[in-house]
């Protein structure tokens, strides 16, 4: 019984360590001078993050992309993928993929999703072979969800061990 308790404590400690390391403070790098993220209360398109690396100007640019694609009668999935791409730079968790020009390094698989949804006429995603497969953005916001899933899994395991 004591060995099981130690195992549960070690498992929970490990999960807490992983959870806290993924929430470290980050800096926005989508400008010439890096800066700390802050709330963008006036943003209306890129609203999925509480602390943003975007200004109202960047949010407006994303809104224009979405509006243009809608006017061009692009598919809903095309509009969704392009909105996610346009707003990706706003999320401080994507800072490692951002450049000072305000763009973000996109993975080949995401390029292919956009190309499949939008075709080649309405986006810049025409030749996906030049896009990287690693160290790039792929629209998978899983880090926070993974931590909660791991914590829940540990709680379930702990429950059945006693």
- Give me the tens of pLDDT residue by residue for the chain, a chain 162 residues long: 455 544 444 444 444 444 333 344 578 877 777 788 888 888 999 988 788 888 888 899 999 999 999 998 999 999 999 999 999 988 888 888 888 777 889 999 999 999 999 886 656 778 889 999 998 998 765 444 444 454 555 556 445 555
124: how many CB neighbours lie within 10 A of its CB? 11
pLDDT reported for residue 139: 79
Task: Report how far residue 12's alpha carbon sits from residue 127's, in angstroms, rounded to the nearest whole number.
Answer: 45
Residue with tokens 């080949």: 108
**Region of 39 on the Ramachandran plot (φ > 0 left; ψ -120 to 50 alpha; else beta):** beta
Q: What's the pTM value of the predicted model, to 2 decimals?
A: 0.67
Burial of residue 42 (CB within 10 Å: 0-12, 13-18, 19+) is exposed
154: how many CB neighbours lie within 10 A of its CB? 17
Task: Report how far residue 22's alpha carbon sits from residue 25's, in angstroms, rounded to the nearest whole number.
Answer: 9
pLDDT reported for residue 20: 37
pLDDT reported for residue 102: 76
H-helix segments, the chain = 2-21, 56-71, 76-88, 108-118, 143-161
């Amino acid at each position: 019984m004591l060995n099981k308790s130690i195992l549960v404590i070690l498992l929970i400690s490990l999960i807490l360590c992983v959870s806290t390391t993924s929430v470290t403070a980050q800096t926005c790098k989508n400008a010439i001078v890096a800066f700390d993220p802050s709330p963008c209360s006036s943003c209306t398109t890129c609203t999925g993050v509480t602390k943003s690396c975007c200004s109202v100007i960047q949010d407006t640019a994303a809104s224009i992309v979405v509006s243009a694609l809608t006017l061009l009668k692009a598919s809903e999935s095309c509009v969704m993928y392009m909105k996610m791409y346009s707003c990706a730079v706003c999320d401080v968790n994507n800072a490692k993929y951002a450049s000072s020009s305000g763009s973000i390094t996109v993975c080949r698989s995401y390029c292919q999703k956009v190309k499949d949804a939008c075709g080649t006429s309405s986006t810049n995603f025409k030749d996906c072979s030049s896009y990287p497969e690693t160290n790039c953005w792929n629209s998978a916001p899983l880090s926070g969800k993974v931590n909660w899933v791991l914590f829940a899994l540990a709680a379930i395991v702990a429950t059945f061990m006693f």
